[in-house]
Amino acid sequence: MPATDEDIIRDLLHRYTDQVRPPASIAAEVAARQRRRDRRRVATLAASGAAVGTAAGLIAVVPGHSSPAPGQKPPEIRLTADQRILYHLSSAAARQQQGQGRYAVMSTEGTDVTDTSVIDSRTGNMWSYQRGTDGTPSGKSYSRRYSPTAAQFAAMPTGRAALRAALIAEWKSATKPAPHPVRVNGSKGSVTLVPRPVIVSDDDMVFQQASYMLWNPLVGSALRSALYKVLAAVPGVTVNPSAHDSMGRAAVEISRTDDSGLPGGKSDKITYATYENPATGATLESTITYPPGSDVVTPQDPHGNHTVVDTTVYLSTTWANAVPADPYGG
Partner 1 sequence: MDRRQTRAFEQFCAESGAELLRIATLLAPDPHTAEDVYQETLQRLAARWSRVDNPRAFCRRVMHNIVVDHTRARARRPELRLIDARDTTDPRSADPHHSVELWPSLRAALDSLTVQQRTVLVLRYFDDRSESEVAGLLGISAGTVKSTASRAIAHLREFPGLAAIFTTTDSMV
Which residues bind to partner 1, rule: CB under 8 A? 1-3, 5-6, 8-18, 20-23, 26-28, 30-31, 33-35, 37-38, 136-139, 141, 177-178, 290, 294-297, 304, 330
Distance of CA 296 to the CA centre of its chain: 16
Secondary element (H or E) of residue 273:
strand 271-276
Cβ-based nearer residue to partner 1, 116 or 136: 136
Measured between alpha carbons, how far is 38 from 43 in angstroms, rounded to an integer?
9
Cβ-based nearer residue to partner 1, 180 or 244: 180
CA atoms within 13 A on the CB side of 299: 13
Smallest CA-to-CA distance from 324 within 138, 114, 105 is with: 105
Task: Give the number of other Cβ atoms within 10 Å of residue 68's Cβ.
Answer: 9
Cβ-based nearer residue to partner 1, 1 or 69: 1
According to the 3-state scheme, what is the secondary structure of 23-45? CCHHHHHHHHHHHHHHHHHHHHH
Q: Minimum CB separation from partner 1 for residue 28, in Å?
A: 6
Q: Minimum CB separation from partner 1 for residue 173, in Å?
A: 17
Cβ-based nearer residue to partner 1, 253 or 258: 258
Cβ-based nearer residue to partner 1, 34 or 192: 34
Q: Minimum CB separation from partner 1 for residue 272, in Å?
A: 15
Amino acid in the structure at residue 63: P
Q: Minimum CB separation from partner 1 for residue 166, in Å?
A: 24
Q: Minimum CB separation from partner 1 for residue 308, in Å?
A: 10
325-to-76, 116, 127, 145 alpha-carbon distances in Å: 54, 10, 10, 20
Q: Minimum CB separation from partner 1 for residue 231, in Å?
A: 24
Cβ-based nearer residue to partner 1, 35 or 172: 35
Supply the DSSP symbol for 218.
T
State the burial class of residue 194 (Cβ atoms within 10 Å of its Cβ: 0-12, 13-18, 19+). Answer: exposed
